[in-house]
Amino acid sequence: MAPDLKSVGIRDVTCGEGVTIVEPANVYGCTLGNGCFVGPFVEIQAGAVIGDRTRVQSHAFICELVTIGADCFVSHGAMFINDSFSAGGPARGDRTKWGHTRIGDRVSIGTNATIMPVSICDDVVIGAGAVVTKDISEPGFYVGNPARLMGGEK
């Protein structure tokens, strides 16, 4: 039996001026602000919004229900999650169980960080490999699993 092949591509993307997308990439149904850069092997799903001058490096995954502000940096292999398995397993297409993620302006997300459905304020750095499981409302540098403010409470 032949497989059902789905091709990657760049389609139905609303782009501002000066956007660069390096192929191969799977970018569809999303919005990219002015001056955005999207590296190779990135997936940005339908409904995601990426702010002006934000850079998304190779192998990053930005799912539905994610909004990223202006002047942000999403490093290699960063992953955004919209299904937190709140019912003990995957939502299996039940989007009412998915969560939204909002990233403020001037946020840098390190290599291989995982961002659960949260809100992150402006002027935050998420360290490499960090796992963000709760909202971040104070600017600073967050590291670890779960991510915590460096120098903050233990």
pLDDT at 93: 75
Token output for 39: 């590296």
pLDDT band with cut points at 50, 70 and 90 for residue 60:
very high
- Which among 154, 67, 57 has a CA at the least distance from the CA of 111? 57
pLDDT band with cut points at 50, 70 and 90 for residue 87:
confident
**Domains of the chain listed by start with CATH number:** 10-83+99-149 (2.160.10.10)
Residue 94 makes CB contacts below 8 A (sequence gap 6+) with none
- The residue to which tokens 């999207």 are assigned: 38
pLDDT at 154: 47
| Residue % of the chain over a pLDDT of 70 | 98
